[in-house]
Structure 1
Amino acid sequence: MFQAWRKSRIRPLNSDLAHWLAYGAPPPERIGNFKIFSYLGEGADHLTVFLSAVPRIRNSSLWIRMLNLIITTIVLLLSLRGLLLNRWFETGLTLRFLMLYFLAATFPLGLLTVTAIAYHYQTTLSAQNQIAENLEGCLRQFETRKMQIQEKYRNTSRQLFTDSQLSRMIEQYGIDNMQVKDRINNSFRNRDVPLPILGFYLLDLAGNGLEFAEAGASDRLKDIFAIYRASIILNLRDQFRISNPAATLPEFKLSEEEELGAKAYGAVTANPFLVELEKRRNFVLSQISGGGTASLIYDYLTVQGHKKASLFIAW
């Protein structure tokens, strides 16, 4: 059962880091008579797995059921005899003294039993609390590790936004040149721990340029970028007009879906989507996509002293 769980839930970390960032470690679940928990520590080469036995609910013993049946039968017969024959159960003096004696002896034994049960309950509860605290600590460490990875993505992206060499390459070779593409990709790949990305868009004032998507992520990246494309380009054009008001901008057409989407957002929120998106420029945004959560960030690149390109990165 454990092997089946491992094959269905665990993916290689080195080749599928994006999945781990989106979904994290496998959630707790039950495997047979055990419950399994998993945790991936910082810098760890292996996934830590914790198995906890699920308490079993045992059926009552046969002798207890028989004793209950006998006692119930005797009480029922004595009650029927009293009701039908008016002969109720009476105890003699000797039996009464014996019962009082046993009751007196049973009290300290009962108190001892209650104390033992309370001690066992408290010990079990303390052990469960300790396990819960350990698991909570593991989850906090995982969350910290996730935040550290997100910080690496954010810092790498912001370095690209201000990369003077990248700007010179765009100026010299053009925005859709392969060297420009490799420059962006290598910033994420050529590291001690590579940072896989879904892809990126590098577009000019007309909305043309470079597109890159990892294998199998092209449709997902297009769905994400389609929401922001028009607003990013329009804001880029506004930024360019500020620094170069006399320049003639190339034509940029909005699709019907983009126009309707912007109008719908403005009607619902009473704020233009252009303004709201510009407020979040150079900040990491999260979006649910493809059954997981994608992170994205964008900003403008300064080429020849003017903001002429926008770089949109998703992971």
Structure 2
Amino acid sequence: MRAITYSRFGGPDVLQVTDLPTPKVGPDSVLIRVRASSVNPVDWKVREGHLAEIMDTVFPVIPGWDVAGVVEQVGLDTPEFQVGDEVFGYVRKDVVGGEVAGGTFADFVAAPVRTLAHKPSSWSFEEAAAVPLAGLTAYQTIRRAGVQSGHTVLIHAAAGGVGSFAVQVARALGARVIGTASESNHDYLRALGAEPITYGDGLADRVRAIEPAGVDVVLDYVGGDALDSVPDVLRDGGTVASIIDARARDEFGGQYVWVRPDSADLAELARLGDAGELVPEIAEVFDLTDASGAHERSQSGHVRGKIVVRVSTQG
């Protein structure tokens, strides 16, 4: 099978097209013929070695954790899926690379059933591939923060890959959303149902002008100084969740979230998709053979929506 691999840490130039054996399928896994994957910032951070201290790496590495495709073969105990099912998932395993931990930038990937759900019919394969990691990150931070109908939620980086999903999930729950973004993305956020504000000095004043009593929840998807304003914008009894800054937990008593594969959470995202309440935004689609270009585009920053890698048009 074709796969994108790298055999050392480095820049996008270490990515190359390689011919590898089709992976074996374990008892609780299915073999997916990959139609599409997507790029997340963690992908190039892994490629550069930034996660080497917390996850074992075995070269060669096939990058990619997001997948959308068709079940080609089932394992010995996988009643959840049948051959021919269209699925999507967040195929993160405990080891990066090696024969048993192949990524999704390949013609085939063996995926544990705990990482998958049935693809909603309303999404194309490219749209479904854009959702898993970013969508789960949004959904799990929102759940951990206890967002409910009637809450006012401040979302930092609301127009980004994770933030745009968070806006939609929070709105589907009945929350009011205030989202930070650059001026060029304000109309986009309004279309998603959020009230946009700009970053920078005076942020707390801008939030209080919209919600004088303060917000119930702050969701941080950007890091940096995003949490500095928490004491000034969060109402008494409110909470904060971050995927980047541990101060959310250690200083403010909130949640510090590392996304997990979860089939039930993926199924909920699929339900929202088929209900028209979760619409993936695709920034650009690259061919598998231009994986380095997809990584470069991600690393350039300020991408609205997701970067998708098309692997196959049939399967």
TM-score by length of 1: 0.21
Larger radius of gyration: 1
Query: Which protein has the bigger strand share?
Result: 2
TM-score by length of 2: 0.21
